[in-house]
């Protein structure tokens, strides 16, 4: 079976360095808020090009706490509207509703899967305070257009960069476009810890100060609690793991781009809709880091079975749109036809720094046989 994602093989690559880093933390006797975390925060903010970075427990907390901090700073208040793409992972929207803010779902651009600037502008009301673009599947959203809209309407921008570590445009990386950005280091993400972890990047010193307190029981000074905070921290062990893996992130992105290039130039089946790229080739498109390689087909279930019969594991990102989730059943039956058709047609092919080139060839061949065989 060609696995969709083999985390064991990915981490095996760095096994010795990870074990050394882990041993250092064990022997240090310091497991929370120590040198590993501050070193990682510095290294990751430098990588993204942002002034500050703060580690938190996971990607959902990164988004939730940023919106919460803006409320504490008086920039956003309960009931305000946050514009967000209708097709994203549910965490993006959970961060909004957790803060008693109102998510305004906007249909994506069907070619890029990302927030459509034109529809974003049309969705703005007097209650809009934040635009929350998601760099879905690893492709940077149209940030120049989104920043332009935000500036003209005096809105905050929070990037959901959970899938896009290292994606950039004109030398400016994800995490360095908006007023703040949330990252996830869930093990399967392009920069993955060996457990849960997340971070926020920003250039805003006031925001970072308040975030430090919010994630630490609302306290700047021990036992002096200014806010009703939470406990959301990035452990020393995970920070040490991430420091090792950050050094190889750019190499892994290159490996992912090579696979994307092979798929894009290899798959010829006209029934399969391939993802779009911003330059001549996936190799030179810096705006995409290929967290996922997502194709579309109107007979998605048949294609997935065909691949599985040929020992190729695939996944669906995502099978149920957020507005159809039970969690949001109290919403008044909204309809998002583009989002709904995306959710019905998408299927993700294996892509990772350890996916073997003969497996990629096998996947391409099998994709091209789809429906030829069915009709034979």
Ligand X SMILES: *Cc1c(COP(=O)(O)O)cnc(C)c1O
Summarize as ranges the residues that interact with ligand X (CB under 6 A).
Answer: 58-60, 88-89, 91-92, 134, 160, 162-163, 184, 186, 196, 198
By C-beta, is 91 or 104 nearer to ligand X? 91
> Which among 185, 188, 141, 147 is positioned nearest to 167, based on CA atoms?
141
CA pair distance 277, 44, nearest whole angstrom:
26
CB of 262 to ligand X, least distance (A): 24
With 0-12 CB in 10 A as exposed, 13-18 as middle and 19+ as buried, what is 333?
A: exposed
CB of 189 to ligand X, least distance (A): 6
By C-beta, is 92 or 176 nearer to ligand X? 92
By C-beta, is 49 or 188 nearer to ligand X? 188
CB of 318 to ligand X, least distance (A): 9
CA pair distance 312, 228, nearest whole angstrom:
48
CB of 294 to ligand X, least distance (A): 13
CB of 190 to ligand X, least distance (A): 10
By C-beta, is 162 or 208 nearer to ligand X? 162
By C-beta, is 56 or 147 nearer to ligand X? 56
Other CB atoms within 10 A of residue 308 CB: 12
Radius of gyration of the chain from Cα atoms?
A: 21
Closest residue to ligand X in the complex (CB): 59
CA pair distance 333, 349, nearest whole angstrom:
32
> Which among 117, 105, 121, 119 is positioned nearest to 141, based on CA atoms?
117
Looking up tokens 């079976």, which residue turns up? 1
CB of 3 to ligand X, least distance (A): 19
CB of 353 to ligand X, least distance (A): 18
By C-beta, is 95 or 262 nearer to ligand X? 95
Q: Helices 236-246 and 35-48 sit at what angle, rounded to 10 degrees?
A: 40
By C-beta, is 107 or 160 nearer to ligand X? 160
Rounded to a whole number, what is the largest CA-CA distance in the chain? 73
Work out the end-to-end distance of the chain between its first and last CA atoms, rounded to an integer number of angstroms.
25
Task: Please say whether the beta carbons of 232 and 65 come within 8 A.
Answer: yes
Looking up tokens 């720094």, which residue turns up? 353
């Amino acid at each position: 079976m060609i696995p969709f994602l083999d985390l064991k093989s990915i981490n095996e690559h760095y096994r010795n360095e990870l074990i050394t880093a882990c041993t250092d933390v064990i022997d240090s006797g310091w497991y929370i808020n120590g040198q590993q975390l501050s070193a990682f925060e510095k290294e990751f903010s430098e990588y993204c090009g942002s002034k500050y970075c703060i580690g938190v427990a996971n990607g959902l907390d990164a988004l939730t706490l940023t919106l919460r901090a803006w409320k504490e700073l008086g920039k956003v208040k309960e009931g305000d509207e946050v514009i967000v793409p209708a097709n994203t992972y549910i965490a993006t929207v959970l961060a909004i509703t957790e803060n008693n803010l109102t998510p305004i779902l906007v249909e994506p651009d069907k070619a890029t899967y990302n927030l459509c600037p034109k529809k974003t502008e049309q969705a703005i009301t007097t209650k809009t305070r934040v635009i929350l673009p998601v760099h879905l599947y690893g492709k940077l959203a149209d940030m120049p257009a989104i920043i332009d809209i935000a500036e003209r309407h005096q809105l905050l921008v929070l990037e959901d960069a959970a899938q896009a570590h290292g994606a950039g445009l004109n030398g400016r990386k994800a995490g360095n476009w908006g007023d703040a950005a949330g990252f996830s280091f869930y093990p399967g993400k392009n920069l993955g810890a060996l457990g849960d972890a997340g971070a926020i990047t920003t250039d805003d010193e006031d925001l970072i100060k308040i975030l430090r307190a919010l994630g630490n029981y609302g306290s700047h000074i021990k036992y002096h609690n200014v806010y009703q905070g939470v406990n959301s921290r990035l452990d020393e062990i995970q920070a040490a793991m991430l420091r090792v893996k950050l050094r190889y992130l750019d190499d892994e992105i290159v490996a992912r781009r090579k696979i994307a290039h092979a798929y894009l130039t290899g798959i010829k089946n006209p029934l399969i809709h391939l993802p779009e790229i911003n330059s001549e080739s996936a190799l030179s498109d810096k705006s995409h880091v290929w967290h996922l390689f997502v194709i579309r087909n109107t007979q998605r279930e048949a294609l997935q079975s065909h691949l599985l019969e040929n020992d190729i594991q695939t996944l669906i990102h995502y099978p149920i749109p957020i507005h159809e989730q039970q969690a949001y059943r109290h919403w008044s039956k909204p309809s998002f036809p583009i989002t709904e058709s995306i959710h019905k047609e998408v299927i993700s092919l294996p892509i990772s720094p350890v996916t073997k080139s003969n497996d990629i060839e096998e996947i391409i061949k099998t994709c091209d046989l789809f429906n030829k065989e069915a009709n034979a």
